[in-house]
């Protein structure tokens, strides 16, 4: 069973502040890491797909880094806005010994609340 951990579980941040949270995953057999944002009553929305050690990706005020050797990824939000309130999920894909992999293995998510 793959262990994908996200911390913290929940986070309250003042509007305008920057914040970050962590996704930890097994460092062996890494293939890819996905980040999703899931707002209440909506569909999970893809943010990033990361594959290479040292990858940095950016989308507006949100960015992510990847360290596959030590098994973690950080998601950063700069200048938080109320619309950033959501659950942020990371999902890991492992390469099986047979060379294939199918479904994503998700963490439990970080629930972010931006306070005006």
Partner 1 sequence: GAGVSQSPRYKVAKRGQDVALRCDPISGHVSLFWYQQALGQGPEFLTYFQNEAQLDKSGLPSDRFFAERPEGSVSTLKIQRTQQEDSAVYLCASSLVGGALTDTQYFGPGTRLTVL
The site for partner 1 (CB under 8 A) is made up of: 4, 6, 31-32, 34, 36, 41-46, 49, 51, 89, 91, 93, 95, 100-109
Instruction: Tell me whether residue 100 or residue 116 sits nearer to partner 1 (CB atom).
Output: 100
Start-to-end CA span in the chain (Å): 40
Cβ atoms of 51 and 32 closer than 8 Å: yes
Separation of alpha carbons 60 and 114, rounded Å: 17
Instruction: Tell me whether residue 80 or residue 109 sits nearer to partner 1 (CB atom).
Output: 109
CB of 13 to partner 1, least distance (A): 21
Separation of alpha carbons 74 and 67, rounded Å: 9
Instruction: Tell me whether residue 89 or residue 114 sits nearer to partner 1 (CB atom).
Output: 89
Instruction: Tell me whether residue 35 or residue 77 sits nearer to partner 1 (CB atom).
Output: 35
The answer, yes or no, to whether the previous bond of 8 is cis (omega within 30 of 0) is yes
CB of 115 to partner 1, least distance (A): 23
CB of 96 to partner 1, least distance (A): 10
CB of 44 to partner 1, least distance (A): 4
**Rounded alpha-carbon distances, angstroms, from residue 44 to 39, 40, 47, 86, 103:** 7, 9, 9, 10, 15
């Amino acid at each position: 069973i793959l262990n994908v951990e996200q911390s913290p579980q929940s986070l309250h941040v003042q509007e305008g502040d920057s914040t970050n949270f962590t996704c930890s995953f097994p460092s062996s057999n890494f293939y890819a890491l996905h980040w999703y944002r899931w707002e209440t009553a909506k569909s999970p929305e893809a943010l990033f797909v990361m594959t290479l050690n040292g990858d940095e990706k950016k989308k507006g005020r949100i960015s992510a880094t990847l360290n596959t050797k030590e098994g973690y990824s950080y998601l950063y939000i700069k200048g938080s806005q109320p619309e950033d309130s959501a659950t942020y999920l990371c999902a890991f894909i492992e390469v099986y010994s047979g060379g294939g992999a199918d479904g994503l293995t998700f963490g439990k998510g970080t629930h972010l609340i931006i306070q005006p």
